[in-house]
Amino acid sequence: MDSKKIKQLVDLATAAQVNAHAPYSGFNVGAAILSKTTHTYSGCNVENVAYPLGQCAEATAIGNMVCNGDKAIAAIVITSPTEDLCFPCGGCRQKIAEFSDESTQVIMTSKDGKMQTLSMAELLPYAFSNNTPTS
């Protein structure tokens, strides 16, 4: 993916991050998706005092993508509010995998501009899929 498209996704994720609702952790995260149809979607984390009811930024972005009729992720950017990269949690890795293939790019960025890109296969090598045997 070209650097211009990555910058656009980082900018979208950073803008979404500003709107995060994170009063309990203070850890505002943003995410932005480039779908395989070349549309973009963003999301932020939304915490809830009943902890399991919150939603990660990646899940919000995926929900926005699906709500708009897209079902395939080409790339996703996750922005961290600190100097450390913010890798997706286990649940979000599986949520991303649901709408990805092994080559989908997962790009983590930090507040100070660090960036790391992994393929979905590198991030979650044994993801459940429609092709995963159940027995």
Q: What 3-state class would DSSP assign to 60?
A: helix
Contacts of 55 (CB under 8 A, 6+ apart): 45, 46, 63
- What are the structure tokens assigned to 27, written together? 């850890």
Helix ranges (H only) for the chain are 3-18, 57-67, 90-98, 120-123
Q: For this structure, is 58 an active site residue? A: yes
CA–CA dist 63, 73 (Å, integer): 12
Beta partners for 67? Answer: none
Options 47, 58, 83, 98, the catalytic residue: 58
Active site residues: 58
